[in-house]
Structure 1
Amino acid sequence: MPDAISQRAPAPSLPPTSRAAVLRRFGEPVRIECVPVPSGPEPGALIVKTTACSICGTDVHLSRGNLSLRVDLPVILGHEMVGRVVAIGEGAERDSVGQPLAIGDRILWTHTACGHCFYCTVARQPTLCENRRAYMYENIERPPHLLGGFSEYGYVLPESGRVRVPDNLDDAVASLCSCAFRSVMNAFDNLGPIDPSEHVAIQGAGPLGVLAAAVARVAGARTVSVIGAPAARLDLAKEFGATHVFPIEGTSHEERAAALRALTDGRGPDMVLEFTGVPNAFGEGLDLVRKGGRYLTVGQLGAGETTFSPSLIVKKNIRVIGSFSGDVKSYWKALQFASAHIDRIPFGKMITGRYALDEVNVALERMHALQEIKPLIVVEERAQA
């Protein structure tokens, strides 16, 4: 039988430019600009026709200048992208888990890891790579230019992981796996196993919190409680597997803590996961988790600060765990989880609006106002001249 790789279709000719949503100054609307498309991929790289890119809370924070990470403006916004391969560099004929890649295949792709620094080799924590390059954070005026998701075309760097998307997932669900869901999967890897006797509480009813409810329930947690707002998001969390929900609107921390302790024989949850991005949630989470429990935080990437008592960590013997981003394993696990459970977990309900590339500012504003859970930028095929 002929090898599948050798039978791939020839790459279509690439346009000289790609329409992309460019951020030039924090706090200002993005502008649709024409950004150069490389003439072809270097060895190990791919060029992809972006089909969709969902909006993450990080996109909103970055556009407003509220991230504690370095951003080299101007940048192409967006980092939860899925696309079809249109050009394959030498040596890039397979994805990162060994599956063959052909022109037209849909993939997700990761931030880079160099593979040779201390964090990549000894610590085996590639998300902390000393030479890491991240999509949406790099200046568009330097080649290869197309390092952001709100763009007709994208460039997959040679050091980036890439994973083929299962056929039973549409672009919207695949895009969820490109950041939100891979961050959740990485968080659970850092958290460690869940025993069927354990109670899990989740701070935040945004996309990450809702997805985390699904993973915790499938993992066998005795109860899964989600704390957040608004009410519609808590209702969605129930559909994803939450056994209990606690609104933050109209309730105090003391009331929520009392309810969770009543649910857990007076102890508090065995583990609490923070996905809010609200600095004050950190202190509340430390108070909620039981003595000897685990507290994991994912959402704290903003520049905000909070006050808490470090003695609480010591007196309660709490393990505090930070979890940042996710590597190619996390992307693969997210895709596999979604593919396995697509018939019983309503992933599609998380996509609450679809927008054209020219409407990206509207989508960002609606995300900021909590009018969307996860809006999707659908990148239409441009007619060739």
Structure 2
Amino acid sequence: MKSATLPEYTRAAVVRGFGEPLKLEEVAVPQTVEAGGLLVEIVACSLCGTDVHCWEGTLAIPVELPLILGHEMVGRIIAIGDGADVDSTGQPLRIGDRILWTHAVCGHCVMCARKRPTLCRNKIPYGQGTMNQWPHLLGGLAQHSYVLPGSGRVRVPDAIPDDLASMASCALRSVVNAVEQAGRIGPEHTVVVQGAGPLGILATGLFAQAGAGRVITVGAPDARLEIASEFGAHEVVSLAEHPDPDDRLAMIRDATGGLGADLVAEFSGHPAAFAEGVEMAGPDARYLVVGQLGAGTTAVAPGTITKKNLTVIGSFSGDLSHYRTALTILERLADRLPFDRLISGRYPLGDVDSVMTRMQSFQEIKPVLLPQEVTS
């Protein structure tokens, strides 16, 4: 094992009861790193809507408490286990390098064998896995985290700042995966993006850059729709100005000659958006569903899917290739898409409870916690 001096304890935001105020606790730092593993110092951890669901206890994926929140992070290596001195793309890794890493997968279950590691039956997720078992540090809202041997990892290029690299590790890589799964988009296509949160805005940008003839972003509040326009939305539909779903549907049909969109992409996370998106889709269209990770339900007429000959595509998370592509996008599209506009604030780790509450009430788009700055 190669390492810098390792601290005995680290500070972490621990969830011990769903919805309870978040407090920092001292957690023991592993003093040894197994073969294939890494120990990192977290330099930035941005918050995601999934973190809010996880903290509230409303996540559709089962979680076991207590846990350290945070799965959208970038870390600087402070210890390298045997055989872990290259990343998953073959780049050498050294003490001090920054990395992104995937959830840990087993590599031998039926989903891994089908090359669907995001659906691994034995996956150990960061920010959602219990801290009751060694190595305990499996969340990004901490000063340190452990990278398991089953986690893919990729070195972060020097030109990419910490906060954007952090965003790439979940929000952007999930959008990259979704856009890839959606299939070809060209100038003949109208795309409707449901949701003006970070994922919806990033998707707006990538669909526009892919050459969609028209991108319409539906969401709220209006300040976020302004950012969506900066990312390339040709039109926006405000939920505040048009609270009636029938009005929004009429606007989409008017914009598409009465047909509906060629692709509807759901990034809102609101269950009711699913039924609305099915209606917004035109005949022989595609409906891409990404944002539905909460436990809510909604009513939908399944015959609509049949009559329209819709293709419904579920897109979950992203694998190592999408992390790599996300970093490449940050480098190559930096002069075309205003990624910095998504970062709504940078805060010390000690502010995590107030920032999570602001995230819950949609006062933040993409706040970034800086674990090495514990207090303001």
Give the TM-score band, short-chain normalised.
over 0.9
Of 124, 128, 151 in structure 2, the residue corresponding to residue 160 of structure 1 is 151
Of 318, 322, 342 in structure 2, the residue corresponding to residue 350 of structure 1 is 342
Q: Distance in 2 between matches of 1:93 and 1:192?
A: 36
After TM superposition, which residue ranges in structure 1, 4 or more long, deviate above 4 angstroms? none
Residue 270 of structure 1 aligns to a residue whose secondary structure is strand
1:113 maps to 2:93: no
Q: Distance in 2 between matches of 1:288 and 1:86?
A: 50
Q: Distance in 2 between matches of 1:320 and 1:41?
A: 43
The C-alpha deviation readout for 1:312-366, integer Å capped at 9, x for no partner, is 0001100011111111111111111111111221111111111111110010011
Structure 1-normalised TM-score? Answer: 0.95
Of 247, 253, 257 in structure 1, the residue corresponding to residue 238 of structure 2 is 247
**Preserved contact between residue 41 and residue 77 of structure 2 (Cα < 8 Å):** yes
- The gaps in structure 1 that reach 5 residues or longer are 1-9
**Preserved contact between residue 274 and residue 281 of structure 1 (Cα < 8 Å):** yes
Q: Distance in 1 between matches of 2:237 and 2:20?
A: 36
Q: Distance in 1 between matches of 2:325 and 2:341?
A: 20
- The gaps in structure 2 that reach 5 residues or longer are none
Of 67, 71, 86 in structure 1, the residue corresponding to residue 63 of structure 2 is 71
**Preserved contact between residue 146 and residue 154 of structure 1 (Cα < 8 Å):** yes
Residue 40 of structure 1 aligns to a residue whose secondary structure is coil
1:17 maps to 2:13: no
Of 157, 181, 184 in structure 2, the residue corresponding to residue 193 of structure 1 is 184
Aligned length: 373
1:209 maps to 2:234: no
One-letter code aligned to 1:352: S
Of 309, 319, 322 in structure 1, the residue corresponding to residue 311 of structure 2 is 319
1:226 maps to 2:213: no
* Identical amino acids, percent of aligned pairs: 52
Q: Distance in 1 between matches of 2:203 and 2:227?
A: 12
The C-alpha deviation readout for 1:292-328, integer Å capped at 9, x for no partner, is 0000111111111100100000011000111111111
Task: Give the C-alpha shift of residue 254 in structure 1.
Answer: 2.1
Task: Give the C-alpha shift of residue 381 in structure 1.
Answer: 6.2
Q: What is the alpha-carbon root mean square deviation over aligned residues?
A: 1.3
Q: Distance in 2 between matches of 1:161 and 1:351?
A: 26
Task: Give the C-alpha shift of residue 13 in structure 1.
Answer: 1.0
Aligned pairs for 1:287-306 within 5 A: 287-306=279-298
Task: Give the C-alpha shift of residue 15 in structure 1.
Answer: 0.7
